[in-house]
Amino acid sequence: MTHKLAFIGFGVVGQGLAEILYSKRQSLKDAEGFESKIVAISDFKKGSLYHPDGLDFEALLEAVQDGGTLDSYPKADGLITGWDSLETIRKSNADTVIEVSYTDVSTGQPAIDHCRAAFESGKNVVMTNKGPVALAYQELSALAKKHGVSWGFEGTVMSGTPALRMPKLTLAGNDITEIRGILNGTTNFMLMRMDEGASYEAALKEAQALGYAEADPTSDVEGLDARYKIVILAQHVMGMPLTVEQVECTGISQLTPELIEQARMEGRRWKLIATAKKENGIITAKVAAEKVPLDDPLASVSGALNAITYQTDLLGPVTLSGAGAGKAETGFSLLIDLLTIARARETVQS
Ligand code: HSE
C-alpha cells in the first residue's frame, strides 16, 4: 500500500527526505516493499499544494530549488493551493504528517499544535523538531496512543544515528542507569579547533560557516540544544519524567586557551557532556563541559560527530557514535521512522 505523506514545512530537512524518497524509490520498493507519494506540502514561506492523487517529486524539487517557492509547480486538475498547515493536516488524505516546520524550540510551537491536529485526525507524525518531544512528551504520546497512530522522532537526537531506537529496541531488557553523551556537533567541533589552537571566536565562525550551528548559536554554546536532547533521552529511553528546567546547564563559553592547555597536560580533553543518571528511582541530569580522560570513548569523538554511552545492567557500557546533523543524515531519520510505521502496518495486515 502506498504511504501518503503531507509535509508541514519544506526546508532543508524536508527536502532532504524528499530527495531520498525519490532517489531510492526503486531500492526502497525492492528491499522494503515501501512506496510513498507526497500528497501535500504546506510551508509558510514557500506556499502550499495539495493533490489527493499525489504531487510530482521532480517538479516539486525543481520548483523549490530553482525559485525558492512552490509557485512554479505546474497547475493540474484537482490541485488545491493555499491551505495553511492545520488545514493541510486535517483535510488532506495523508497517512503521515512529516512535521518539519520552523518551530520555536522553547515553546515547541507551532509543532505541538501540528502533532495534536494530526493525531486527532488519525494521522501518524514523524518529526525532527525537538521542542514537542522535550516539552510535551507525555501528552503527545498519550494522544497518539488514544488515536491508534504512531509518533516518530528519531531525528531529534543525533539526526539519523539511532540514539533513540537502538536502546529502545536492541538494548530492551536492560536497565539503562546512565546516559552520557556528546549531543551537540557545533561545540564538539569548536572544542576540537580550540584544542588545535584556534580562538573561541574563530572556531565559532568556522562552525557557523560549515552549517553546524543553530541560527542563534547561543543555543549550542550555552548547552541549551544538548539540554533538550538529554530531556528527550531521559523520558523516552530511560522512561523517567524530566523537565528542561530540572537540568543544570552550562556551556563552553568560559573555556580559555589556558584551561584547554591545562587539560592537555593532565592527559584529558574538554568535551560538552550531557548526562542523565537514575539512582533509587530518581533522575538527575546536567549539561556541562568536562575534562574527559583520553581512554573514555567519548574523548576520541572529534569534529561535528556525536556519541552516547548507555550504561546498562546486562552489557555494561555501550557507546554509539555517528552524525548529529546534516541534510541527508536528518532526512534519513525521517525515512527510518516512516519505514518503521510501514513495517508495523504490514505486520498488522498480514
Ligand atoms: N546545532 C546542532 C548541533 C544541530 O550542532 O548539533 C543538530 O541539532
Instruction: Give yes or no: 291 in active site.
Output: no
pLDDT tens by residue, 312-347: 999 999 999 999 999 999 999 999 999 999 999 887
- What does the alpha-carbon distance between residue 21 and residue 60 come to, in Å, rounded to a whole number? 13
Distance 103 CA to ligand 1 centre (A): 15
The structural domains of the chain, ordered by start, are 3-160+328-349 (3.40.50.720), 165-322 (3.30.360.10)
220-243 confidence digits (pLDDT tens)? 999 999 999 999 999 999 999 999
Atom of ligand 1 minimally distant from the CA of 306: 6
CA of residue 91 to ligand 1 center, whole Å: 33
Residue ranges around ligand 1 (CB below 6 Å): 184-186, 212-214, 220, 225, 324-325
Q: What is the best residue among 164, 206, 212, 305 to mutate for testing ligand 1's pocket, by most ligand atoms within 8 Å of CB?
A: 212
What atom in ligand 1 is closest to the CA of residue 207?
5
pLDDT at site 350: 55
Amino acid at 223: G
- Mean pLDDT in the chain? 96
pTM score above 0.85: yes
Contact assessment for residue 14 and residue 7, using Cβ atoms and an 8 Å cutoff: yes
The pLDDT, as a whole number, for residue 349 is: 64
CA of 185 to the centre of ligand 1 (A): 5
pLDDT at 78: 96
Residue in 229, 271, 278, 327 annotated catalytic: 229
Q: Which cell is 159 given?
A: 539526526
Give the tens place of pLDDT for each residue, 118-158: 999 999 999 999 999 999 999 999 999 999 999 999 999 99
- pLDDT, greater one: 205 or 345: 205
Q: Contact, 327 vs 136, CB < 8 A? A: no
CA distance 74 to 56: 9
pLDDT for res 269: 97
Lay out the sheet containing 176-182: strands in order across.
248-249, 282-293, 268-279, 176-182, 306-312, 316-322
82 CB-near residues (< 8 Å, 6+ apart) = 47, 48
Q: How confident is the model at residue 74 (pLDDT cuts 50, 70, 90)?
A: very high
